[in-house]
């Protein structure tokens, strides 16, 4: 049960107790899923054996150490970061556009990040060694971030007139932007050499399979920072649900909230796309489920989205490792197979409300 302070009886319609409970359940689920995911895999390595080895004070077998610490652990951590980053990006973007259908993957923001990542992979090789040395593993996530930032800004400018964001304009402009960016990406890919092409194909499938420590250390700080800073925007986004003018009248610095939300979405999406390619629908499914469970208050929605996004991606990753074992299904295919129908379901349920 949830403790309620005795001096403040809970009022009807206050769902913070449910959101708090959801948060606790999700924390437990995330811990359990992480452990499970760490022990999940094709090789004969077993987590229980490794743990009992450690508890007994024995050295880990070399194979166990490599599989657990160098392959699975970075992959699990990457899954947590990417899942949280994508779900929080979705929730932020929906709050910013005041629409439950906004999602970085749908409206071209991910395409902006992809173009950035592709540019970095193809032209990064041509950089002088001194410059490449400075950026190192950061080059791809940083350029992807710039790509998604410019795209989000452009989209917001196009879809918003006099403080009102048009859903139809947003979705259609997102499609157009996505198409343009993909076309440019195609042009850049034509210039790639064979080894770069291999890198690009591997990356573009949407996968956590390439996770390693250097990649994780380059991209995770950006995602962690974005996810942890997002709840600071919660009050502003709650007020924005009333409309921009009304948000200003309750004391919100609207332009500042919007700028920060755009920057956070761009950072989280950019870094996530840079390391995992195109993983879709997490940003739309997760916040929607949470709104159904405990309401749209962003003070909880943003936190819980991060948690549920991480849990979902860990499960999707486990599915991707299992479904066609010993081969691996790209995780983007798994999330699309679950998220696509779910998205259609949201559309059908809200057909009357959306005035598209």
Check: CB of residue 120 under 8 Å from CB of residue 139: yes
The stretch among 13-21, 54-62, 81-89, 108-116 that binds other proteins (CB under 8 A) is: 13-21
Chain centroid, CA 35 distance in Å:
21
Measured CA distances, 31 to 49, 51, 139, 307, 321 (Å):
19, 16, 31, 10, 19
Residues numbered 95-154 forming contacts with other proteins, rule: CB under 8 A: 98-100
Nearest-approach distance from CB 338 to other proteins, in angstroms? 23
Which CB, 34 or 304, lies closer to other proteins?
Answer: 304
First to last CA, the chain: 42
Q: Which of 39, 124, 210, 243 binds other proteins (CB under 8 A)?
A: 243
Q: Which of 208, 227, 320, 335 is nearest to 281 (CA)?
A: 335
Check: CB of residue 211 under 8 Å from CB of residue 78: yes
The stretch among 8-16, 49-57, 201-209, 314-322 that binds other proteins (CB under 8 A) is: 8-16
Which CB, 132 or 168, lies closer to other proteins?
Answer: 168
The reply on whether position 351 binds other proteins by CB under 8 A is: no
Secondary structure tally for the chain: helices H, strands E? 16, 2
Nearest-approach distance from CB 103 to other proteins, in angstroms? 15
Cβ-based burial of 342 (10 A; exposed 0-12, middle 13-18, buried ≥19):
middle
Report how many residues bind other proteins under the rule CB under 8 A.
Answer: 30
The enclosing H or E element of 23 equals: helix 16-38
The reply on whether position 356 binds other proteins by CB under 8 A is: no
The reply on whether position 247 binds other proteins by CB under 8 A is: yes
Nearest-approach distance from CB 286 to other proteins, in angstroms? 15
Residues numbered 164-193 forming contacts with other proteins, rule: CB under 8 A: none
Q: State the Cα angle at 291 between 4 and 9, rounded to 5°.
A: 20
Nearest-approach distance from CB 99 to other proteins, in angstroms? 6
Q: What is the per-residue binding string for other proteins in 274-313, x denoting contact by CB under 8 A?
A: -----------------x---xxx----------------
Q: How far apart are CA 139 and CA 134, in angstroms?
A: 9
Q: Which residues bind other proteins (CB under 8 A)?
A: 8, 11-15, 98-100, 235-236, 238-239, 241-243, 245-253, 291, 295-297, 353
């Amino acid at each position: 049960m949830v403790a309620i302070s005795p001096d403040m009886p809970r009022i009807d319609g206050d769902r913070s107790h449910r959101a708090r409970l959801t948060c606790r359940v999700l924390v437990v689920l995330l811990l359990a899923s992480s452990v499970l995911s760490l022990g999940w895999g094709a090789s004969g390595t077993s987590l229980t054996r490794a743990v009992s080895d450690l508890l007994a004070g024995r050295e880990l077998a070399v194979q166990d150490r490599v599989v657990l610490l160098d392959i699975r652990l970075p992959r699990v951590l990457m899954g947590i970061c990417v899942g949280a980053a994508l779900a929080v990006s979705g929730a932020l973007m929906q709050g910013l556009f005041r629409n439950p259908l906004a999602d970085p993957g749908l409206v071209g923001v991910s395409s902006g990040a992809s173009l950035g990542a592709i540019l970095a992979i193809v032209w990064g090789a041509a950089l002088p060694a001194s410059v490449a040395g400075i950026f190192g593993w950061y080059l791809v996530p940083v350029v992807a971030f710039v790509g998604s930032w410019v795209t989000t800004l452009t989209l917001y400018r196009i879809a918003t007139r006099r403080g009102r964001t048009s859903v139809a304009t947003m979705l259609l402009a997102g499609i157009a932007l996505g198409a343009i960016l993909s076309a440019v990406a195609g042009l850049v890919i034509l210039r790639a050499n064979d080894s770069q092409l291999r890198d690009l194909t591997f990356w573009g499938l949407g996968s956590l399979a390439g996770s390693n420590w250097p990649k994780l250390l380059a991209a995770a700080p950006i995602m962690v920072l974005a996810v942890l800073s997002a709840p600071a925007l919660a009050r502003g986004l709650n007020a924005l649900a009333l409309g921009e003018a009304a948000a200003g009248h309750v004391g919100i610095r609207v332009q500042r909230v919007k700028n920060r939300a755009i920057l956070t979405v761009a950072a989280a999406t950019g870094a996530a796309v840079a390391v995992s390619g195109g993983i879709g629908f997490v940003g739309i499914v997760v916040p929607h489920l949470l709104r159904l469970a405990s309401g749209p208050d962003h003070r909880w929605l943003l936190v819980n989205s991060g948690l549920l996004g991480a849990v979902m991606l860990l499960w999707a990753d486990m599915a991707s490792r299992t479904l066609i074992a010993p081969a691996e299904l790209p995780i983007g295919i798994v999330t699309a197979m679950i998220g696509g129908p779910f998205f259609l379901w949201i559309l059908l349920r809200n057909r009357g409300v959306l005035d598209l």
